[in-house]
């Protein structure tokens, strides 16, 4: 099969046209920062105001149709063990620091952080997660294959999976009450919190509010808003009076969104696809060339050997001929000599007899 020049160029031109037509005006290049949706909502959790009443857990379960959280809410023995979010418990309040002397215990409510650049969205190979303009990261159970890559990579251990559902297991997590937000309501936990430890509002406004609180009460707060920048930032922002690693949150986390780490490598994949064919065909051609040259050299050597044999044979034949000729000559000479001698003898014998 051979491809004509025209055919090849025509095909290439068609592809270029399609690509140019679908490119948008925005070009990345890597030096640009994405700032997210400007009017996205968020929540500010001020752990210095949290008393561990777990009313938010109850409200969340009610809003989402989940079973009531364990134990009577006033039973503080539940805080003796660190609880995790599960497929049935979208949010948990844990006691991270026990009361010491006059200092009260420190609680923190944990749930999906609705990251600005979510790992779950990045790793999902069916694009089941979407960061909405309103702020929440949404999950679409209708396309989920159940690979649980998202559950495996979440830096906040915020996803649960329905392992006991044999027919249609899905990922379960806090949704930031997306349907309520769309109706103009607050998320269930924010509305229910009696201490005002959860504030719902625009993310950029909440950051300003948090900064104001830190400025006003510098001895009360650690001078940092967790979630402002970590791993690209989250929609849930946290203020605390103790360092965040005591609250189960990663301290000194990179500001770089984690999905960038995957993207960096995946950009090499098209290089493999485009470089390997030519490179490997080159190796193959080089191998074939070596084989061809070896074969040619072998054939030439055989021919040369044969020719050399031929020369040797010819020389030998010539020598043999010479030898035969000289032998023959000597034989002839001998015979002539003998004949002459015989003739002399005969002549001499004739002279002797009268």
Partner 1 sequence: MSESIAVVKRPLITPFNVIAGLILLAGAGAGLYRFAVGLAPSTNLDHLNPWGLWIGFDVMTGVALAAGGFTISSAVYLFGLKEYQPLVRPALLTGFLGYFLVVVGLLVDLGQPWRLPYPFVVQSGPTSALFEIALCVALYLTVLFVEFTPAAFEWLGWKRWRRLVHRLTIALTIFGLILSTMHQSTLGAMYLITPSRLHPLWYSSHIPVHFFVSAVIAGLSMVIFESALSHRVFADQVEVTHEKLDEMTIGLAKAACVALGIYLAIKVVSISLDNEWALLLTPYGHWYLFEIGGFVVLPMIGYAIGFRERRTTIIRVSAVIAVVGIVLNRLNVSIFAYNWQLPAHERYWPHPFEIIVTVALVTFGVVMFKWIAGRMPILHEHPEYRGEH
Partner 2 sequence: MHTLQDFFHFTKGMTYIIAALFLVGSIGFWLFLTSREDKP
Q: Which residues bind partner 2 (CB under 8 A)?
A: 1-5, 7-8, 11-12, 15, 19, 22-24, 26, 28, 34-38, 116-118, 121-122, 127, 131, 133, 232, 257, 259-260, 263, 266-267, 269-270, 273-274, 277-278, 281
Shorter beta-carbon distance to partner 2: residue 4 or 252? 4
Residue 35 Cβ vs partner 1, minimum distance, rounded to whole Å? 19
Q: How many residues does the chain have?
A: 354
Pure H helices in the chain: 5-22, 55-64, 119-123, 149-153, 178-182, 188-192, 203-216, 259-266, 269-352
Q: Which does 71 bind (CB under 5 to 8 A by kind): partner 2, partner 1, none?
A: none
Q: Which does 307 bind (CB under 5 to 8 A by kind): partner 1, partner 2, none?
A: none
Shorter beta-carbon distance to partner 1: residue 262 or 320? 262
- Contacts with partner 1 by CB under 8 A lie at 84-87, 119, 121-128, 143-149, 151-153, 155, 157, 159-166, 168-170, 250, 253, 258-259, 261-266, 268-269, 272-273, 276-277, 280-281, 283-284, 287-288, 290-291
Q: Which does 79 bind (CB under 5 to 8 A by kind): partner 2, partner 1, none?
A: none
Give CA–CA dist 246/109, Å, rounded: 13
Q: Which does 217 bind (CB under 5 to 8 A by kind): partner 1, partner 2, none?
A: none
Q: How far is CA 62 from CA 70, 88, 97, 207, in A?
A: 13, 11, 28, 29
Shorter beta-carbon distance to partner 1: residue 272 or 314? 272
Q: Which does 258 bind (CB under 5 to 8 A by kind): partner 2, partner 1, none?
A: partner 1
Shorter beta-carbon distance to partner 2: residue 73 or 253? 253
Q: Which does 149 bind (CB under 5 to 8 A by kind): partner 1, partner 2, none?
A: partner 1
Shorter beta-carbon distance to partner 1: residue 233 or 241? 233
Q: By the 8 A CB rule, do 137 and 117 touch?
A: no
Structure tokens at 109: 């409510």
- What are the residues whose beta carbons fall under 8 Å from the beta carbon of 209, sequence distance 6 or more? 44, 199, 201
Shorter beta-carbon distance to partner 1: residue 243 or 304? 243
Q: By the 8 A CB rule, do 121 and 131 touch?
A: yes
Shorter beta-carbon distance to partner 2: residue 24 or 80? 24
- What are the residues whose beta carbons fall under 8 Å from the beta carbon of 194, sequence distance 6 or more? 53, 55
Q: Which does 8 bind (CB under 5 to 8 A by kind): partner 1, partner 2, none?
A: partner 2
Q: Which does 157 bind (CB under 5 to 8 A by kind): partner 2, partner 1, none?
A: partner 1
Residue 154 Cβ vs partner 1, minimum distance, rounded to whole Å? 9
Sign of the Cα torsion 16, 19, 22, 28 reads negative
Residue 131 Cβ vs partner 1, minimum distance, rounded to whole Å? 12
Give CA–CA dist 126/144, Å, rounded: 7
Residue 293 Cβ vs partner 2, minimum distance, rounded to whole Å? 15
Residue 93 Cβ vs partner 2, minimum distance, rounded to whole Å? 30
Residue 116 Cβ vs partner 2, minimum distance, rounded to whole Å? 7
Give CA–CA dist 71/92, Å, rounded: 13
Q: Which does 9 bind (CB under 5 to 8 A by kind): partner 2, partner 1, none?
A: none
Q: What is the number of other CB atoms lying within 10 angstroms of the CB of residue 335? A: 10
Q: What is the number of other CB atoms lying within 10 angstroms of the CB of residue 217? A: 12
Cα–Cα–Cα angle for 230, 233, 235, nearest 5°? 130
Q: Is beta strand 137-139 parallel, antiparallel or unpaired with respect to 236-239?
A: unpaired
DSSP calls for 50-102: -----HHHHHHHHHHTPPPPSS-TT-GGGGGS-----SS-S-EEEEEE--BTT
Half-sphere exposure of residue 95, counting CA atoms within 13 Å on the CB side? 17
Shorter beta-carbon distance to partner 1: residue 148 or 204? 148
């Amino acid at each position: 099969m051979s491809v004509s020049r025209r055919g090849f160029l025509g095909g290439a031109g068609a592809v270029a046209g399609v690509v140019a037509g679908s490119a948008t005006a925005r070009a990345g290049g890597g030096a640009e920062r994405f700032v997210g949706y400007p009017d996205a909502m968020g929540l500010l959790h001020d752990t210095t105001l949290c008393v561990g009443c777990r009313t938010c857990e109850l409200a969340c379960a009610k809003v989402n149709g989940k079973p009531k959280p364990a134990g009577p809410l006033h039973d503080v023995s539940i805080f003796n063990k660190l609880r995790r979010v599960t497929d049935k418990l979208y949010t948990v309040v844990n006691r991270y620091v026990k009361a010491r002397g006059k200092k009260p215990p420190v609680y923190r409510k944990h749930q999906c952080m609705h990251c600005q650049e979510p790992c779950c969205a990045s790793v999902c190979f069916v694009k089941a997660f979407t960061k909405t303009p309103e702020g929440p990261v949404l999950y679409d159970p209708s396309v989920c294959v159940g690979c649980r890559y998202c559950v495996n990579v979440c830096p906040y251990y915020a996803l649960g999976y329905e392992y006991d559902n044999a027919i249609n297991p899905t990922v379960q997590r806090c949704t930031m009450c997306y349907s309520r937000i769309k109706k103009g309501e607050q998320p269930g936990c924010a509305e229910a919190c009696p201490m005002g430890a959860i504030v719902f509002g625009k993310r950029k406004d909440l950051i300003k509010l948090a900064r104001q609180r830190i400025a006003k009460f510098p001895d009360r707060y650690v001078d940092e808003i967790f979630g402002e920048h970590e791993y690209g930032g989250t929609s849930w922002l946290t203020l605390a009076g103790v360092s965040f690693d005591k609250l189960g949150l990663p301290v000194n986390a990179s500001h770089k969104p984690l999905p960038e780490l995957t993207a960096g490598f995946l950009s090499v994949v098209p290089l493999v696809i485009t470089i390997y064919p030519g490179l490997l065909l080159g190796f193959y051609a080089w191998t074939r060339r070596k084989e061809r040259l070896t074969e040619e050299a072998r054939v030439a050597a055989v021919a040369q050997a044969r020719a050399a044999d031929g020369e040797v044979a010819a020389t030998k034949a010539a020598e043999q001929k010479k030898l035969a000729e000289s032998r023959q000559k000597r034989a002839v000479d001998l015979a002539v000599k003998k004949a002459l001698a015989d003739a002399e003898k005969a002549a001499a014998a004739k002279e002797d007899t009268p």
